Amino acid sequence: MKNRITGLDTLRFFAFLSIFVFHATPYFKFGYLGVDFFFVLSSFLLTYLALAEINTQGKFNAGKFFIRRVLRIFPLYYFVIVISFVALPLLARHIGINPTLPHNKLLYWLLLSNYETSDCVFYLKFLWSIAVEEQFYLLFILFSFMFRKYLWWVILLLILVYFSFMTYATANSIATYSHTLTHFPNFAAGMAGGYLFYKNKQLHYYPLITLALSFITLFFFKTDIIVNLSTSVLFISLIFVFINALSKNNAPGILKITEFAGKYTYGLYVYSGIVLTFSKSLLTLNSTILTIITEFILLFALAFVSFHIYEKPFLRLKKRFRSF
């Protein structure tokens, strides 16, 4: 059973790139959907690996799964939190500035920042999606006992909860985008895709068909409740189409570059807000394109150094908690 699927790091990288361009320029207004793509891709891979673990080990070890996720996510996340809530105020007082920090910092410490909506420094706003992801991990663990026989019931439950929440939120004019329940279709689509990929279902042209249908649906239905669901189907279809294309053809040379860059996606995402925040005052280039290229180079250098100097020791510890 292979744990690494060629092409996923490339997809991660392009998802990040869409988010980066969305925040760096005013020209790519749909780039924020890269976050939704991250959610679909994450649940796809985690479900695939969980089913493989159940098959080889007889059960899913929730404790080891949680520790692996902690070792991957927490070190960098809490590094940014400590810098922001401890070091930054001290530095700010020393140089005479007053950075805008969230009103309820506790929600950031508890990985509930997606429910903290006060105005704050730009780069902290990137952390909401990490909070949503962590909350999904807890749900993933909670329902993992059903994965062997009742995975589709879990997927159905996610969709039903999503429709119920969105119907209620729409009726009561509740903001939904950063709410975890809003992204249940992302996780449900990823889980369904992970199951089908693990079972090695011969889908043939079905991903292309669902990809086309989801595109059509997005043109005809503009309500958030349908758009979120259609986008999730589109993204899991795109993942299948991409993986199938790579399996049938020789991978292009550029894939080596994007697969390499994809390893640093988490750091690129977390640090992108910081680079974009401070580059506005530090960079005085006249060209927008040159500014974006410079910001990306600085960002990649920061993510690269962080990964190899700070994050990698934690990642090595994950090997002790692998189940297969």
**pLDDT tens-digit map of 144-181:** 999 999 999 999 999 999 999 999 999 999 889 999 99
What whole-number percentage of the chain has pLDDT above 70? 97
Q: How many other β-carbons are positioned within 10 Å of the β-carbon of residue 68?
A: 21
CB 292 within 8 A of CB 25: yes
The distance of Cα 198 from the centroid of its chain, to the nearest Å, equals: 21
CB 194 within 8 A of CB 51: yes
Give tens-digit pLDDT for 9-52.
Answer: 999 999 999 999 999 888 888 899 999 999 999 999 999 999 99
Based on its alpha-carbon atoms, the radius of gyration of the chain, rounded to whole angstroms, reads: 20
Q: How much of the chain is helix, strand and coil, in % rounded to 5?
A: 80, 0, 20
What 3-state class would DSSP assign to 277? helix
User: In the 8-state DSSP scheme, what is residue 27?
Assistant: S
Residue 1 has pLDDT above 50, yes or no: no
